[in-house]
Amino acid sequence: MSNRRKNQPKGSPVVVSEKPANLELTAYTSGPAVVRERREVTLAEGRNDVSLGGLPVQYVPNSFTVVSVEGKGTFKLGPRRFRPANLNDANILRAYLGQEVTLFEQTAEGLKPVRGVLARLVGNQAYLELAGGRTRAITLSNNYEVPGGIPETLSDVPSLLMKPTVSEGGRFAINGLYETQGVQWTPRGEIFYDAKAEKITRFLIEVDLTNNSGTPFDASRIKLIAGHNPGGVSMPKGGGMRMAMAAAAPRGGSHESFQADAAMSYDAAEVESVGEQKMYTLPEALCIEHGTPDSAVLVCAENVPVVLEYYLPEGSFQAGVRDEELEKLPVSVRLCVKNDKASNLGVALPRARVRVLEPDSSGALQKTDTTDIQSHVAVDEGFRLDLNNPSRDLKATRKQTFYKLDPEVEVPEESEDDSDSSEVARPSIGTLGGPDVGTPDEHSRRRRDAAEGAGKKRDKKNKKKVVPPRFCEEERQVTVHNYKDKDVTVLVHEDFPHNAEFLSKSQDFSEQAQSQGTFKVTVPAKGKAEVTYRIKWRVN
C-alpha cells in the first residue's frame, strides 16, 4: 500500500533544498556549535517529500528541530530522517537497476565498454544481462555511463529528509536549528605596552574560528559563547555594545615617510549576557570554509592605563653561605588593569593567551613576552597580566641569619608504688559491728567506697607523661638589588608557620593573612634594600 495522498501522485519529485537561504551560527570554546537556518521551499497541497541538503558531516544526530514555519494554511510536521552523505558510484548505479547501462572493464588492451541491463549489485560486483540471456559480472569502478543524471536523492553532504503535510500549496520558509561538532573558537590577544607612558596603547583580543565540520557555512551572523556546550540547544538574541579604535602604527626611520598616519579602526564584537554566560556577536558576516580558520576582532581598545608591579614570590632561605655566593633570585613583573570605562575598556573579556609587544628606541615593536588572561573578566573587575619573563635589572637574595631549635627532652616513664594495686578486695559484709551491720544501705555504701578507691588507683596508673614544649627561632633576611637608574617598589611575598610569633621585623606588612604576608619595599636606584624579621614557633 502507498502512504501517498491522492493529490500527490506516485513518483512525484522530491523537493530539494540544497542550502539554506540564511544561516546563523553560535560557536563555543568547546562542544558542539548551534546552527540556526532558514530554508525556503515550494510545497504542493498534501504530503511532500523534502530533502534539506548541505548539513555538515559532523551533524549531531537528533539535534534538528523546526523552530517555526512561515506560509499559508497549516503545516503538519511529519516523520524526519537523517541521511548521511550517500553520493558514490554504487548508489548512482543502484538508481538505474533494471535499465541499460554501459560499464567499462579494464583489460590488457585498456578499457573496453560492456553494455547491458543492470540486474543487480553485490558488493563491488555489477551483474549485467547481455543479449542471448547471458549474464556478465564486472568489477565496479568509476568508469560507467548511465542514461540519466545523478539522482536528486543523492548528495555528497548529509541531508535531512522530511515528510510534511500542508493544507495549501505554496511557498514556505522552514526555520530550523541543529548542532554540529567540529566548530570551535579560540580567543587570543595582543597588547602594545608602553612602559614609559604606563599604559597599553593597543589592547586587542581576536578570535580564531575553525571549521572541521565537513561543510562550509555562509553565515550572515556568527555568535560566540565563552564556555562549553554540553550538547544542549541555545537560541541567544541580539543586542549588546560596540567598540571601535584608531591606532597609529610606529614608523621606522628606514621606511618611506608619509605625511600622516592613516586612521585604523576595528569593529569589535557586540557583547551581551545569555543566562550566566557571555556571548560575542561578530560585526560582519563570514563564510567559514571547511579546514580553513577565520579570524575576527572581539575586543579592541586604546590607551588603557596600567599599574606596573614588581614582586618577589615566596621562597626558601639559604643558610651557611657567604653573601657573594647567595643565589640571585628573579623579581617577577605583572601589569594590573581595571576593566572599566575609565580605563577605556568596560567589556567582558574571555580567557586568552596574550602576546606583549613593546617599542624599542626607534619605535619598532618587539615581542618581549607572553601572558594570559587567566579567567573570564567581568565589567568593572580588576585583573592582572603576569609576565613570564622576570625583570633583568631587579634581583633578590634570601638568607637565614639565625636558627635555633630546642633539643628534644627525654621524659622518663613515671614510676609506680609497688604497694599500689588496681585490684581492691571485696569488703566483707557483716564482719564489723554496729547497728547497720547486714542492712541493704550498709552493703551499698561499702560497694560504693570500694569502687571509688579502685578508680583512683587506675587513674594514677594510667597517668600520661607530660612533654615540655619545643620551640624554633629563626631570623630571615631578604635583600633586593636594583640595577635600574630609578627607584622602584617591590612587593616581597613571605610565608611562615601559622603559629609563628614575630619577635622583630624591620617594617610592617602591607598585607597579611594566616601564614602569609607581603612587605612593600622601596629600593633606591643603583642600590639595595633589606627586609629582616625574626619569628618563633612551637614545633610539637
Distances (CA, A) of 114 to 119, 132, 147, 334: 14, 14, 14, 77
Any domain includes 301 = yes
Distances (CA, A) of 540 to 81, 329, 476: 73, 32, 22
Any domain includes 358 = yes
Any domain includes 253 = no
pLDDT for the residue 410: 78
Indicate whether 399 and 535 sit together in one domain.
yes
Indicate whether 136 and 285 sit together in one domain.
no
Question: 7 in helix, strand or coil?
Answer: coil
Question: 62 in helix, strand or coil?
Answer: coil
Any domain includes 441 = no
Distances (CA, A) of 389 to 368, 475, 521: 8, 30, 21
Any domain includes 451 = no
Give the three cell numbers for residue 185: 573558537
Q: Are 207 and 194 in contact (CB under 8 A)?
A: no
* pLDDT per residue as tens digits for the range 235-265: 333 333 333 333 333 444 444 444 545 555 5
pLDDT for the residue 492: 98
Looking at the whole model, is its pTM more than 0.75? no
Any domain includes 299 = yes
Ranges of residues in the chain with a pLDDT under 70 are 1-12, 152, 232-266, 412-464
Which residues, 6 or more positions from 332, have their beta carbon under 8 angstroms from its beta carbon? 310, 311, 312, 313, 386, 387, 390, 391
Q: Looking at the chain, how many residues does it have?
A: 540
Indicate whether 267 and 130 sit together in one domain.
no
pLDDT for the residue 84: 79
Indicate whether 205 and 299 sit together in one domain.
yes
For residues 128 and 21, what is the distance between their CA atoms, to the nearest angstrom?
A: 43
Q: How many independent structural domains does the chain possess? A: 4
Indicate whether 292 and 190 sit together in one domain.
yes
Any domain includes 34 = yes
Indicate whether 28 and 82 sit together in one domain.
yes
Any domain includes 423 = no
Indicate whether 65 and 170 sit together in one domain.
yes
Indicate whether 222 and 197 sit together in one domain.
yes
pLDDT for the residue 175: 95
Indicate whether 49 and 129 sit together in one domain.
no
| Domain containing residue 46 | 15-86+154-180
What amino acid is encoded at 98 in this protein? G
Q: Are 344 and 302 in contact (CB under 8 A)?
A: yes
Indicate whether 490 and 342 sit together in one domain.
no
Indicate whether 176 and 186 sit together in one domain.
no
Q: Are 490 and 391 in contact (CB under 8 A)?
A: no
Cα dihedral sign, 376-382-385-390: negative
pLDDT for the residue 237: 36
Indicate whether 219 and 281 sit together in one domain.
yes
